[in-house]
Amino acid sequence: MLPKVKYQSINNISYQAGWDLQTDLHNSLKSNKLEWRHLPEEERGKNTQIHHLLFCQHNHVYTLGKSGSQDHLLLDDAGLDADHIEFFKINRGGDITYHGPGQITGYPIFDLDEFFTDVHKYVRLLEECVIQLLATYNITGYREDGFTGVWIKPKTDGAPKRKICAIGVHLSRWVTMHGFALNVNTDLSYFKNIVPCGIADDDKTVTSIDTELGKKVDQEEVKIRLKSIFAQVFNFEYVETEH
């Protein structure tokens, strides 16, 4: 039986509200596991999780992962206030990144006990979903050795490699939270206030789908395509309501 996933698309949500929602869903899946493990084996097998996939569009915010350096935020509090940008230290892996309008911030909240218990494979499949999505727009994404996320190769010799999707995850009892940030119609100027993902290399920068195509794209259409790809890559089916 395939895992069951509930999908939600939420626009214009504050980062705190999105984090609170993730945390509630994450804790619920963990609580189910703790409750079910005390059942007889024949009863335990009758229970399956309802997993979650959230596609959010946040207000302007910088988030710093637990392994990151605050020195990579190039604005002080006054600068953040002046530009109406929030800042959060959070419990995902990775360094600092930006979320905001024109970006799809995806939060898979999966109990990997019902998929596979392999963190490396999980991150690689997140990348694979984005790479397949980009291919539908005739954009070739790839994995850069030594760096997590999805990249676009240089257009010409000497041009920088361009990161289009950042990834940072957190797992507890094999239940995932946080996820990926895909730049679709993103205002890339907000990345100038940080050292994105802690990468200060001159030969690396950030990009977005609209930058690569030279035109804005329908973000809702991107979500529809990406939603379908997730189900194929992770081999699950969607449910409309919880059972």
Q: What is the CATH number of the domain that holds 185?
A: 3.30.930.10
Residues 6+ apart with CB under 8 A from 197: 94, 95, 96, 97, 147, 149, 163, 166
Which domain range does residue 197 map to? Answer: 4-37+44-239
Q: Would you tell me how many other CB atoms lie within 10 Å of the CB of residue 107? A: 23
Q: In 3-state terms, what secondary structure has residue 166?
A: strand
Q: What residue ranges of the chain have pLDDT lower than 70?
A: 41-46, 241-243
Catalytic residue at 197?
yes
* pLDDT number for residue 1: 87
* pLDDT number for residue 128: 98
* pLDDT number for residue 44: 62
* pLDDT number for residue 242: 43
* pLDDT number for residue 154: 84
Contact 105, 18 (CB under 8 A): yes
* pLDDT number for residue 97: 93
Rounded to whole angstroms, the Cα distance separating 11 from 191 reads 21
Q: Which residue has the tokens 């789908």?
A: 209
* pLDDT number for residue 71: 92
| Domain count of the fold of the chain | 1
Contact 88, 64 (CB under 8 A): yes
Average pLDDT, the chain: 93
pLDDT tens digit sequence for 99-135: 999 999 999 999 999 999 999 999 999 999 999 999 9
What backbone phi and psi angles, to 5 degrees, belong to 100? Answer: 180, -170
pLDDT tens digit sequence for 129-142: 999 999 999 999 99
Q: Which of 56, 129, 165, 197 is catalytic?
A: 197
